[in-house]
Chains A and B, each alone.
Chain A
Amino acid sequence: MSEKVLMKGNEAIAEAAIKAGCMHYFGYPITPQTEIAAYMAKRMPKIGGTFLQAESEVSAINMVYGVASAGYRVMTSSSSPGVSLKQEGISYIAGADLPALIVNVQRGGPGLGGIQPSQSDYFQATKGGGHGDYHLIVLAPASVQEMADLTVKAFDLADKYRMPAMLLADGTMGQMMEPVEIPEVEARAVDHSWAVRGTNCEREHNIVNSLYLKPEILEQTNFERFERYRQIEENECMYESFMMEDAEYCVVAFGIAARVSKNAVVAARKAGIKVGLIRPITLWPFPKKALAKAAQKVKGFLSVELSMGQMIEDVRLAIDCKKPVQLCNRTGGMIVTPEEVLSSIEKLAKENA
């Protein structure tokens, strides 16, 4: 066990990525994730890795595409406007079935928006984001420790299923410091027989590509990819359940919104309202089964989000609209307070007694 140190969430991502064997980082600075790039700029040259500040986010993601084609662990990071720029490249990486990590430390939008924390890229992250039929594995950390742990997890899942993964954080998670133990990661054997690393004239060329001009073949490729997605939905859902045992109401929140909501859940319990929290850790795959199960016993749900209400749609879908789902939200860089969440819980309980 290594010693606990205080680190910013952004730094924890960077160090955990290095520990996970990521030797190649391409990015472009943008608040509030710049510490990731700064950390990589300092560390990568010392360990023989690559740090490259590209001329734009579009370049950075295509450099990621290149390294991923060769089967090496690779990542990029940005914040909301920069991640929008990367979407074409992300779609290509998904279409070419390559593992890679994209980090989005979200800020308020749309447009250039602001620099304060937000969760309004939920749709973009979980529904594809770029063009075509595809998903990313999307992990949502709610502590600096999870910023580190889920970075490692994201690389592992990306390798396992040969697809890009996204760490969806926000400005608060990136900027805050908490004690963190950077995980020691054992090297895992990964099949790279598909990678383009040179043939030594000993085998046929591998081809990494996302172009399929015959529709029958493209359709078949998408079918096969979605079969993998089905397995992921079956096997890789992660969530935290907090005070749900006897809960009559269920708050659903991820990331910083879940942290704030926990304070409110504890306060509501003190006021006699039996409420619990389900915190999705994977946003895709979304923990549908956990919510469907909760819907069998709770009287109502409250989706707490830093957006105009995006995850709430997945909550409703997961429970087939069997119970009322209300929204408690702030957006544009504003953060919900525990008091706001508490009064929303009280309203939910009153209207669904």
Chain B
Amino acid sequence: MTTQILIAGFGGQGVLFAGKCLAYEGLFENKQVSWLPSYGPEMRGGTANCSVILSDDPVGSPIVSNPDVLLAMNLPSLDKYEAATVPGGKIVVDSTLIDRKVERTDLQAYYIPATKLAASLGTPTLANMIMLGKMIKETGVVDFDNATEAMKKVVSAKRADLLEANIKALKTGFDYEG
């Protein structure tokens, strides 16, 4: 079983960090994992994406061109990667920032107002964790309890104060019904 995940959005939305959390969650479950960022001349406000692969077998190419799961955190990302997503795949859309629906009918789309939910939690920068929580709920690609454990590895000791907020955002996404 191999799941290829693409997380895409603006620089500054925590796209790479969300991917890193996911990769650590995979590692925590003894899966084979790879994480590859786009590393062009990206900057805050520009586009950013990262490829994460979770697998039971050694990972071949770490580049995700046709994702099984797409996390679209802005409209340009949905426009760019919707067509590339595999038939039967899943797309999670931040409906606060993306005002259109997924046009493909051969895959599952999930809508969550992640940016709005993050703001209402008082942590507007954690829409990425809300998206990740929703994705974990809909795909089961990692176990939610492991996800929170893995988070402790990713949030550095120096920023331990942010651990709770990250876990809360993750859970908000996971529990979201809508």
Interface residue ranges, A against B (CB under 8 Å): 4, 6, 31-32, 115-116, 171-172, 175-179, 256, 259-260, 262-263, 266, 335, 337-338
Is B60's CB under 8 angstroms from A6's CB? no
**Residues of A contacting B39 in the complex (Cβ-Cβ under 8 angstroms):** 31-32, 115, 171, 175
**Residues of B contacting A266 in the complex (Cβ-Cβ under 8 angstroms):** 60
Within 8 A of A (CB), among B1-31: 20, 23-24, 27
Interface residue ranges, B against A (CB under 8 Å): 20, 23-24, 27, 32-37, 39-41, 59-63, 65
Name which residue of chain A comes closest to B51, CB basis: A176
Closest 7 CB pairs of A and B: A263-B60, A177-B35, A260-B61, A262-B60, A176-B36, A175-B39, A259-B61
**Could you show 12 A-B contacts with beta carbons less than 8 Å apart?**
A115-B41, A172-B36, A176-B62, A178-B35, A178-B59, A178-B62, A259-B61, A260-B61, A260-B63, A266-B60, A335-B63, A338-B60
Is A338's CB under 8 angstroms from B61's CB? yes
Is A6's CB under 8 angstroms from B37's CB? no
In whole angstroms, how far apart are the Cα atoms of A31 and B38 in the complex?
A: 13
**Residues of A contacting B32 in the complex (Cβ-Cβ under 8 angstroms):** 179
Separation in Å of the A53 CB from the closest CB of chain B? Answer: 21
In whole angstroms, how far apart are the Cα atoms of A72 and B60 in the complex?
A: 37
In whole angstroms, how far apart are the Cα atoms of A116 and B40 in the complex?
A: 7
Q: Contacts A260-B60, A338-B60 known; list 16 others, CB within 8 Å.
A: A6-B20, A6-B27, A6-B35, A31-B39, A32-B39, A171-B39, A172-B63, A176-B62, A177-B20, A177-B35, A178-B35, A179-B33, A259-B62, A260-B61, A263-B61, A337-B65
Is B60's CB under 8 angstroms from A177's CB? no
**Residues of B contacting A172 in the complex (Cβ-Cβ under 8 angstroms):** 36, 62-63
Is B60's CB under 8 angstroms from A259's CB? yes
Name which residue of chain B comes closest to A339, CB basis: B65
In whole angstroms, how far apart are the Cα atoms of A24 and B150 in the complex?
A: 34
Name which residue of chain B comes closest to A32, CB basis: B39
Is B40's CB under 8 angstroms from A177's CB? no
**Residues of B contacting A31 in the complex (Cβ-Cβ under 8 angstroms):** 39
Separation in Å of the A240 CB from the closest CB of chain B? Answer: 11
**Residues of B contacting A178 in the complex (Cβ-Cβ under 8 angstroms):** 33-35, 59, 62
In whole angstroms, how far apart are the Cα atoms of A177 and B39 in the complex?
A: 13
In whole angstroms, how far apart are the Cα atoms of A262 and B24 in the complex?
A: 24
Name which residue of chain B comes closest to A178, CB basis: B34
In whole angstroms, how far apart are the Cα atoms of A177 and B34 in the complex?
A: 6
In whole angstroms, how far apart are the Cα atoms of A335 and B61 in the complex?
A: 10
**Residues of B contacting A177 in the complex (Cβ-Cβ under 8 angstroms):** 20, 23, 34-36
Most interface-central of B34, B41, B65 (chain A CB within 10 A): B34
Separation in Å of the B81 CB from the closest CB of chain A? Answer: 15
**Residues of B contacting A175 in the complex (Cβ-Cβ under 8 angstroms):** 36-37, 39
Separation in Å of the B124 CB from the closest CB of chain A? Answer: 27
Separation in Å of the A120 CB from the closest CB of chain B? Answer: 18
With beta carbons under 8 angstroms apart, the residue of B24, B34, B40, B41 that contacts A176 is B34
In whole angstroms, how far apart are the Cα atoms of A4 and B61 in the complex?
A: 21
Most interface-central of A31, A116, A177 (chain B CB within 10 A): A177
Name which residue of chain A comes closest to B2, CB basis: A263
**Residues of A contacting B35 in the complex (Cβ-Cβ under 8 angstroms):** 6, 176-178
**Residues of A contacting B63 in the complex (Cβ-Cβ under 8 angstroms):** 172, 260, 335, 337
In whole angstroms, how far apart are the Cα atoms of A116 and B36 in the complex?
A: 13
Name which residue of chain B comes closest to A257, CB basis: B61
In whole angstroms, how far apart are the Cα atoms of A214 and B96 in the complex?
A: 77
**Residues of B contacting A338 in the complex (Cβ-Cβ under 8 angstroms):** 60-61
Separation in Å of the A170 CB from the closest CB of chain B? Answer: 12
Is A6's CB under 8 angstroms from B24's CB? yes
Separation in Å of the A324 CB from the closest CB of chain B? Answer: 25
In whole angstroms, how far apart are the Cα atoms of A172 and B63 in the complex?
A: 9
With beta carbons under 8 angstroms apart, the residue of A6, A256, A335 that contacts B23 is A6
In whole angstroms, how far apart are the Cα atoms of A178 and B36 in the complex?
A: 9
Separation in Å of the B68 CB from the closest CB of chain A? Answer: 14
In whole angstroms, how far apart are the Cα atoms of A259 and B62 in the complex?
A: 8
In whole angstroms, how far apart are the Cα atoms of A115 and B38 in the complex?
A: 11
